[in-house]
Amino acid sequence: MSESIDVERRYDYHAARGHRHATRIHKYRWPAVQLNFWIVIMLAAACTWIGIFATLVQTQQRLVLHVPWYFAYILTVASLGVTFVLAILGLIFQRRLLPSIVMIGAFMMFVLWVVALVVLSIELFGDSGAGVATNCNLSVFNQNPIGLSTSTLAWMQQKSICQSWQAAFAFGLVGAIFLFWIMVMAYQVFADDV
């Protein structure tokens, strides 16, 4: 038998006459292993985005280059993702994690996350060879300097930046899939209870 997280919702009914008080407890059973796995993966995806794009912002500022608007947007969405997961953890600890709250919150996060992923993929794969991936393939991955020199060190830094973009796209895709999955899981928890 798999573990589950029980959530109670109390309904109070007052009788028209007298002061009789009846309480009905409504329990939702969340699959514990799946929910914990979702929490870990979403925290990893959101924190990876925060780390990558905070580093890219710092690099842009150090090089005295314009910081694109979508860096701040992605940082904001990732921070909201961490906040959403922490809110879910708080509701779990209070035993008040309701499927409707999760579905609405996950839908809002899914829309924000997909917009960030679309912008990220446009910048990564770009139009007519102007994307980050094309520049990385031409300028970085086709090179292979070795030896103790500043050009080798610069190439390693460029390769790290290119791989950060690839990781950001991969974790963005995983985050979008997992946000959709939590909506499906919340609906199943709700449907199993009805």
The C-alpha atoms of residue 71 and residue 171 are separated, in whole angstroms, by: 15
Q: What is the mean pLDDT of the chain?
A: 87
13 within a domain of the structure (yes/no): no
What 3-state DSSP class applies to 167?
helix
pTM of the model as a whole = 0.83
5 within a domain of the structure (yes/no): no
Question: CB–CB of 43/179 below 8 Å?
Answer: no
How many domains, in total, are found in the chain? Answer: 1
Question: Which of 61-65, 87-91, 144-148 has the lowest average pLDDT?
Answer: 144-148
AA identity, residue 186? A
Residue 1 has pLDDT above 50, yes or no: no
Within 10 Å of residue 178's Cβ, how many Cβ atoms?
A: 22
Within 10 Å of residue 49's Cβ, how many Cβ atoms?
A: 26
35 within a domain of the structure (yes/no): yes
Residue among 8, 21, 77, 23 at smallest CA distance from 48:
77
In the prediction, which pLDDT does 4 show?
66
In the prediction, which pLDDT does 24 show?
67
Would residue 129 be called left, alpha or beta, if left means φ above 0 and alpha means ψ between -120 and 50 degrees? left
Residue among 172, 167, 161 at smallest CA distance from 78:
172
In the prediction, which pLDDT does 138 show?
80
Q: 107 lies in which domain range?
A: 30-193
Token duo for residue 55: 């580093």
The C-alpha atoms of residue 59 and residue 137 are separated, in whole angstroms, by: 20
7 within a domain of the structure (yes/no): no
Average pLDDT over residues 143-163: 86
For 162-185, the pLDDT digits (tens) are 899 999 999 999 999 999 999 999
Sign of the dihedral defined by the CA atoms of residues 62, 63, 66, 68, in that order: negative
The C-alpha atoms of residue 43 and residue 80 are separated, in whole angstroms, by: 11
In the prediction, which pLDDT does 188 show?
92
> What is the number of residues in the chain?
194
61 within a domain of the structure (yes/no): yes
For 15-42, the pLDDT digits (tens) are 555 556 666 667 788 889 999 999 999 9
Question: CB–CB of 124/132 below 8 Å?
Answer: yes
In the prediction, which pLDDT does 16 show?
54
